[in-house]
């Protein structure tokens, strides 16, 4: 991902030198689209453990104020799961949580021509939660449970225009999970959730670098 981003920088710089790129609809209306892409990293909590999500995002800035795009993220530090006996795996060990999700992003930037400005955004996507553990007989890693989930993250962000082709974005939001349905039925016929939404509905803080042809008027390194 890093190599790809570095290779993109000179191309995006050439685009940033061009002005007045737009599609015309009728004689008066103009729709201006600028492309952006970049890496992102998010910090939150998963089942009481500090979590790090890494991924990438990209899309279009519409008339400088609004943006729409897509994203993808993967949980990198795999928080541990220790209550394996409670979910029917008494002989398994070294449980770990894995998560991957992707979806769409919509947002608004307030006065994006300023070097430092703020905005609001929201992402919505689908993901897979997976519980992996070590099988006792052959000591091999197995995916023992998984669950498809919906993820919604509203955010408030601050953004810094560094150059005409680079922005730094810092955001704070809240992650909501839906459709968590995997469960284990114990000997007493009780249903025990494998993944509990309350362990994932948590605040989230993220940092992203956006590369693109922004056509902003001011940047701290311009």
pLDDT digits (tens, 9 = 90+) for 88-120: 999 999 999 999 999 999 999 999 989 999 999
User: What are the residue boundaries of the structural domains of the chain, listed by start?
Assistant: 2-212
pLDDT band at 214 (very low <50, low <70, confident <90, very high): confident
Percent of the chain at pLDDT exceeding 70: 84
Contacts of 127 (CB under 8 A, 6+ apart): 99, 100, 101, 102, 148, 149, 150, 151
Q: Is residue 10 classed as helix, strand or coil in its secondary structure?
A: helix
How would you classify the pairing of strands 66-75 and 49-62?
A: antiparallel
More confident residue, 11 or 79: 79
pLDDT at 29: 59
DSSP letter for 6, please.
Answer: H
Among residues 212, 221, 222, 220, the alpha carbon closest in space to that of 64 is found at 212
Average pLDDT over residues 61-74: 95
Among residues 208, 78, 206, 71, the alpha carbon closest in space to that of 151 is found at 71
Residue 142 pLDDT > 70, yes or no? yes
Residue 3 pLDDT > 60, yes or no? no
Q: 31 pairs with which residues across the strands?
A: 23
Among residues 138, 132, 149, 153, the alpha carbon closest in space to that of 40 is found at 153
Return d(Cα 92, Cα 137) in angstroms, integer: 9
CATH class of segment(s) 2-212: mainly beta
pLDDT band at 137 (very low <50, low <70, confident <90, very high): confident
Both tokens of residue 183?
A: 């469960």
Return d(Cα 171, Cα 161) in angstroms, integer: 15
Contact 123, 176 (CB under 8 A): no
Contact 104, 126 (CB under 8 A): no
pLDDT at 13: 44
Classify residue 187 by burial, with Cβ atoms within 10 Å: 0-12, 13-18, 19+.
exposed
Helices (H), the chain: 2-16
What is the residue-averaged pLDDT of the chain? 85
User: pLDDT tens digits, residue range 158-210?
Assistant: 999 999 899 999 999 999 998 888 888 888 888 888 999 999 999 999 999 99
Task: Give the pTM.
Answer: 0.80
pLDDT band at 6 (very low <50, low <70, confident <90, very high): very low
More confident residue, 82 or 161: 161
Among residues 51, 17, 46, the alpha carbon closest in space to that of 34 is found at 17
Contact 182, 147 (CB under 8 A): yes
């Amino acid at each position: 991902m890093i190599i790809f981003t570095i290779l993109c920088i000179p191309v995006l710089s050439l685009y940033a030198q061009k002005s007045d790129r737009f599609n015309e609809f009728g004689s008066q209306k103009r729709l201006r689209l600028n492309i952006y892409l970049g890496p992102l990293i998010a910090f939150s909590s998963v089942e009481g453990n500090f979590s790090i999500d890494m991924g990438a995002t990209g899309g279009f800035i519409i008339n400088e104020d609004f943006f729409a795009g897509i994203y993808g993220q993967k949980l990198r530090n795999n928080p541990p799961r220790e209550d394996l006996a409670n979910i029917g795996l008494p002989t398994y060990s070294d449980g770990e949580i894995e998560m991957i999700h992707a979806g769409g992003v919509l947002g608004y930037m307030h006065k994006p021509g300023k070097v430092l400005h703020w905005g609001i955004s929201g992402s919505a996507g689908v993901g897979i939660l997976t519980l992996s553990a070590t099988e006792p007989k052959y000591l091999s890693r197995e995916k023992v449970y998984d669950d498809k989930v919906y993820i919604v993250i509203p955010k408030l962000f601050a953004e810094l225009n560094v150059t005409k082709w680079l922005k730094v974005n810092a955001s704070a939001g809240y992650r909501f999970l839906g459709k968590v349905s995997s469960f284990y039925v114990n000997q007493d016929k009780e249903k025990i959730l494998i993944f509990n939404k309350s362990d994932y509905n948590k605040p989230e803080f993220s940092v992203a670098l956006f590369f693109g042809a922004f056509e902003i008027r001011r940047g701290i390194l311009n």
